[in-house]
A and B are shown apart, each in its own frame.
Chain A
Amino acid sequence: MSQLKTAHSSSEDFPPVLALQNICKNFTGVRALNNVSLNLYPGQVTALVGENGAGKSTVVKILTGIHQPSSGEILLAGEQVQFATAHHAASAGVTAIHQETVLFDDLNVAENIYIGHAPRSRFGLIDTQAMRQQAKALLDDIGADISPTAMLRDLGIANKHMVAIARALSIDARVVIMDEPTAALSHKEINELYVLVEKLKSQGKAILFISHKFDEIFSIADRFTVFRDGGFIGEGKIKGVNESELVKMMVGRPVDQIFPTRQPDLGNEILQVSKYCHPTEFDDISFTLRRGEILGFYGLVGAGRSEVMQSLFGIKRPCSGTASVDGKRLEIRSPADAIAHGIVYVPEDRGKQGAITTLPIFQNVSLPSLQQTSRRGFIRLAQEFALTRKYTERLDLRAAALDQNVAELSGGNQQKVVIAKWLATQPKVIVLDEPTKGIDVGSKAAVHEFMAELASQGLAVIMVSSEIPEMLGMSDRVIVMREGRMVTELRGDSLTPETLVRHAAGIGEE
């Protein structure tokens, strides 16, 4: 692969074929991108590097016309353009191969490749014959042995990926975006992809390559651009940096968040998980947790952290392994069992998995505790309101009234409703999955403070998070997971941004 690295690239003096300049993007109150720039040169692979939440996906969406920038310019071959729709971007020659390929299972391969821009016959109908021939030519070109008439449903993941690539190339692309293209591929297929990338380079296409895997970046990219927290950090030639410099650029941030100071008072061991396995999601997970402790789980998206927690909570079924609370082995068949044993899980996606937004606050909070507030099968409203008031006041929930609908609350307050709901069940172990994702800074601080308070009251807390400052600021101990396995456990001095990223991304230990 070393010859790729040194592949001649005399295009230094060429202007970038596509350039983003001072792009900002705001989503309802959250600034996702702040003055970022990105240059893509013909015949070169530019790696876009950054942590989760650095703004990589947002940039891809702006480049492909799915989002429009709030301010800033897009220059295509030096001229200012606007990608108002995905169609605009495609006709300008910008094409993307996505993380989760967007294809249609019930259409055949040729139809998948040409949907939206199929060749037409004289009468304006789709020219099936021509479409199949062109699809065949495209597939041959990228070395994929797939019949254009095969149904997509019947293809394996790798072949689906090849179809996605063929689709991306079916428009006359000048810029090809590859968003974590190797995530689903085997070693052999990755090598084939490298050959393909070389071919695209030789055709003068500009390639934006997004990956968390450093070995890939160093073997395939010519240039790099680093984003952090939606801001531009730096760019340059890949030959000019080494891994640890790149990691520093990714994570080295000023401490802009203040975390509550804690004197962890660890009690007895409350949770033991031993040799948890799942056929597809994770393998051999063992850890223990003590009262008053905050245990962090760090890893890249897809490392299996949430899946482990969902197994503990009875949503997924581990195929082997045991979990015990207070030394008592658990039989967890459903979330109701987990709740009864004192384990609760505050899911990541509030809208989808957390709050029931069409119900009022008090009905949300009491939902898992209705047995407590009922007598002889009937809910006692006074008890229900008392329970709700108790826990929402502790969390400093801002709401006009407790019978207000949750949909009307802000993101931070919705999060508080969800947490109040779980506290009301009086748990022993609370799992918080990305507890501060997508909420404003003030609410974040409140959640952190509350997390510290829970721990000080003897609750055992597991925090799954992809935010490094939060990991460092809140956890007593961090377990790093990669590709479904526990890689290491970090604490004290060994717990630094660099060690976290290194272990999560699989960069060789020093």
Chain B
Amino acid sequence: MLKTILAARETLLLVAVLLLLLLVSSRFPAFIEIDNLVKVLTDTSPLIILALGQMLVIVTRCIDLSVAANLALTGMVVAMLNTAAPELPIVFTLLIAVSLGAVLGAINGLLVWRLAIPSIVVTLGTMTIFRGTIFLISDGQWINAHEMSEHFSQFPRGSVAGMPVLAWIAVLVTITAWIFIARTPTGRAFFAVGSNPHASVYTGIDVGRTQCIAFIISGALAGLTGYLWVARYAVAYVDIASGFELEVVAACVIGGIAIAGGQGSVVGVLLGAIFLGVVKNALPVVNISPFWQLAISGAAILIAVAFNSRSSQSRGRLILKEAEQST
């Protein structure tokens, strides 16, 4: 029963995305050519990767507002590393980005776990600290395209089977996240913890530790995105991806992740991110002001949240009906 509702929600989101594409293509047919769709996907890839990490955090009843700052700090560190050691193989750059991101995520996770500080406070704090750190290590200087080595900035743009590496990474992360959630004990634990922390304790799951793992994964993905972002735009400075964390949370909410934890799916998040990506890319094409884009994203969030609460309400009524029948 609930499964069908969940499925319906994702179907609905898919229909919304398709309708949007249809609408845009009626005025600008070139928008739905494969080449352009790949471009849109590539452009949305950072959002997809971050939203999948964020999803795990939200599912465990936390929130990670520091992802964009983590991304910017990691991006700056790998960019500076690249100027210092231009010949460093890309594998190491990736490794460093992911590890540094994970460490920054672990700081969030440990504060939430060990000191039991609410995650919104922790990540609001670390968000500012991470941004401040970028300024400290870079002296507020930019690192521009000409300072980066060729293979560093070209890697995400490299094409494999007609699609840029950046988009392939998003696809890979999506598949991994899906398997991780569906088929590993830790993946299960996220949902158990978010759905009913008390019951999870009695089941032998360490709630704090599970939340910490979610933050580490979210941080690692933010670190990965940090390198990809800096390389793709070929620039690193204090304010890159400023405010992007809200777009990430928005993608999750539109994708049907319950902000109260315990519910959500990879497909939902993927569609939520793609929806935002299509809106962002389509509106300029049909000559609609970017301010409309904000309004549309905002409306989509409200509709999604209203839809979520409505579906859980109808579930409540169903139980009541059963109870009435049984009396």
Task: Write the residues of chain A forming the contact surface with B, with a CB cutoff of 8 angstroms.
Answer: 26, 28-29, 313, 315, 334-336, 338-339, 345, 347, 349, 352-359, 363, 367-368, 370-371, 374, 377-379, 381, 403-405, 407-408, 410, 421
B206 at the interface (CB under 8 A from A): yes
Docked complex: B181-231 residues within 8 A CB-CB of A: 182-185, 188, 191-192, 195-196, 198-206
Top 5 closest pairs, chain A to chain B, by CB:
A336-B204, A370-B185, A28-B323, A335-B204, A358-B195
With both chains docked as a complex, state the minimum distance between the C-beta of A476 and any C-beta of chain B, in angstroms. Answer: 26
A residues in contact with B183, CB < 8 Å: 378-379, 381
Closest to A363 in B: B188
Beta-carbon contacts of B32-65 to A below 8 Å, as 1s and 0s?
0000000000000000000000000000000000
Beta-carbon contacts of B1-14 to A below 8 Å, as 1s and 0s?
11100000000000
A355 with B202: CB separation less than 8 A = no
With both chains docked as a complex, state the minimum distance between the C-beta of B264 and any C-beta of chain A, in angstroms. Answer: 10
| Assembled-state Cα–Cα distance A175/B187 (Å) | 55
- Identify whether the interface residues of B are mostly helix, strand, loop, or mixed: helix
A347 with B319: CB separation less than 8 A = no
Say which residue of A354, A370, A371 sits within 8 Å of B199 (CB atoms): A354
B326 at the interface (CB under 8 A from A): yes
B residues in contact with A355, CB < 8 Å: 196, 199
A residues in contact with B199, CB < 8 Å: 347, 352-356
- Identify whether the interface residues of A are mostly helix, strand, loop, or mixed: mixed
Closest to B1 in A: A408
With both chains docked as a complex, state the minimum distance between the C-beta of B248 and any C-beta of chain A, in angstroms. Answer: 23
Closest to B261 in A: A358
Q: Can you list 23 pairs linking A and B with CB atoms under 8 Å apart?
A: A313-B202, A334-B206, A345-B202, A347-B199, A352-B196, A352-B199, A353-B199, A354-B199, A356-B195, A356-B196, A356-B199, A356-B262, A358-B195, A358-B196, A359-B192, A363-B188, A363-B191, A367-B192, A367-B203, A377-B185, A379-B183, A405-B1, A410-B322
Say which residue of A335, A368, A377 sits within 8 Å of B184 (CB atoms): A377
A405 with B2: CB separation less than 8 A = yes
A residues in contact with B198, CB < 8 Å: 349, 352-353
Task: Write the residues of chain B forming the contact surface with A, with a CB cutoff of 8 angstroms.
Answer: 1-3, 179, 182-185, 188, 191-192, 195-196, 198-206, 262-263, 315, 318-320, 322-324, 326-327
B204 with A368: CB separation less than 8 A = yes
A334 with B262: CB separation less than 8 A = no
| Assembled-state Cα–Cα distance A26/B326 (Å) | 12
| Assembled-state Cα–Cα distance A347/B199 (Å) | 9
With both chains docked as a complex, state the minimum distance between the C-beta of B207 and any C-beta of chain A, in angstroms. Answer: 11
A407 with B202: CB separation less than 8 A = no
A residues in contact with B262, CB < 8 Å: 356, 358
| Assembled-state Cα–Cα distance A370/B182 (Å) | 12
With both chains docked as a complex, state the minimum distance between the C-beta of B196 and any C-beta of chain A, in angstroms. Answer: 4
Closest to B263 in A: A358
| Assembled-state Cα–Cα distance A26/B183 (Å) | 43
A335 with B203: CB separation less than 8 A = yes
B202 with A315: CB separation less than 8 A = yes
Closest to B258 in A: A358
With both chains docked as a complex, state the minimum distance between the C-beta of A327 and any C-beta of chain B, in angstroms. Answer: 24
| Assembled-state Cα–Cα distance A359/B21 (Å) | 34
Closest to A352 in B: B198
Q: Which of B202, B262, B263, B323 has the most CB of A within 10 A?
A: B202
With both chains docked as a complex, state the minimum distance between the C-beta of A430 and any C-beta of chain B, in angstroms. Answer: 13
| Assembled-state Cα–Cα distance A378/B185 (Å) | 7
B residues in contact with A353, CB < 8 Å: 198-199, 201-202
A407 with B204: CB separation less than 8 A = no
With both chains docked as a complex, state the minimum distance between the C-beta of A130 and any C-beta of chain B, in angstroms. Answer: 39
With both chains docked as a complex, state the minimum distance between the C-beta of A344 and any C-beta of chain B, in angstroms. Answer: 9
Say which residue of B2, B188, B201, B319 sits within 8 Å of A335 (CB atoms): B201
A residues in contact with B201, CB < 8 Å: 315, 335, 353
With both chains docked as a complex, state the minimum distance between the C-beta of A399 and any C-beta of chain B, in angstroms. Answer: 12
A residues in contact with B323, CB < 8 Å: 28-29
B203 with A28: CB separation less than 8 A = no
A residues in contact with B204, CB < 8 Å: 334-336, 338-339, 368
User: When A358-B262, A377-B184, A379-B188 are in contact, do A29 and B196 touch as well, CB less than 8 Å?
Assistant: no
A residues in contact with B182, CB < 8 Å: 379
A407 with B185: CB separation less than 8 A = no
Q: A336-B205, A352-B199, A378-B183 are in contact. List 4 more A-B contacts (CB 8 A).
A: A28-B324, A315-B202, A407-B2, A408-B319
